[in-house]
Amino acid sequence: MVSEEASQNLVPKASTLEDKEKLEKQLHDMAVAVERLESSRQKLLMEIDSQSSEIEKLFEENASLSSYCQEVTSIAKQWENQLKDCLKQNEELRVMIDKLRTEQANVLSNDREILGGSAERHRDGVTETGSQAHATEILPLKGQLAKEQSKAEALSAEVMHLSAELQQATQAYNGLARIYKPVLRNIESSLIKLKQDGSVVVQ
């Protein structure tokens, strides 16, 4: 009877030891899992920080490139407007010069007729001062014509200069567009990829 009771008492003890070992093993496995999760969490936080820095850097580069392209476009537009204004002024001066030349030709024609008549009357002993009056009128017109011609030449030179600058600006803008458009596309693709990766991580 004693041996049976002793054996019965040993069975629970053995079972208790086995359960204890299982619990200890489970606790150990849980501790390892927690450690792995903590390590993964730290890596995830580092990756998020790295992605945040990369996104910020890409946004800064994108903003800088966009601002520079807008500046070049604005300068080209300003030069284009100046060129249009100069062309308009040049056309107005051309019309004015043509008008002055026509008036000068008419005055010279009238002056020749008056001079011819004056010579005839002078030979008859009559002094005529009309030709002198017309000559006096011609001089200011010649001076004005010379000034307008000078303005037209100056405007033509400015138009040529602005045309050259506009062409250079256009070439520079096209060059920048060829260089930076692929960069901007890569930045956009990187931003989309980082956003998608961030969504996956959050999920």
Q: Tell me: the pLDDT tens digits for 45-55?
A: 887 777 777 77
Q: What percent of the chain has pLDDT over 70?
A: 65
Rounded Cα distance, 165 and 153, in Å: 18
| Inside any domain, residue 15 | yes
- The answer to whether residue 203 is domain-embedded is no
Domain contains 90: no
Residue 89 in domain: no
Domains: count for the chain: 1
Is 14 among the domain residues?
yes
Give the range of the structural domain holding residue 32, as residue numbers without chain letter: 1-42
pLDDT band per the 50, 70, 90 thresholds, residue 202: very low
Q: Quote the tokens at residue 199.
A: 């969504």
Distance CA 48, CA 54 (A): 10
* CA distances (Å), origin 54, targets 50, 58, 132, 164: 6, 6, 86, 41
**Mean pLDDT value of segment 2-24:** 65
Assign 129 to helix, strand or coil: coil
* Predicted confidence (pLDDT) per residue in 129-145, tens digit: 555 555 566 667 677 77
What integer pLDDT is reported at residue 129 of this predicted model?
Answer: 52
Question: Could you tell me which residue, 124 or 163, shows the higher pLDDT?
Answer: 163
Residue 3's pLDDT band (boundaries 50, 70, 90)? low
From residue 128, give the alpha-carbon distance in Å to each of 40, 109, 111, 140: 115, 18, 13, 22
Cβ–Cβ under 8 Å, residues 96 and 149: no
Domain membership of residue 23 (yes or no) is yes
Torsion angles phi and psi, residue 127, rounded to 5: -90, 130
Indicate the pLDDT class of residue 111, thresholds 50, 70 and 90. low
85 part of a folded domain:
no
Residue 115 pLDDT level (bands cut at 50, 70, 90): low
Q: How far apart are CA 132 and CA 115, in angstroms?
A: 9
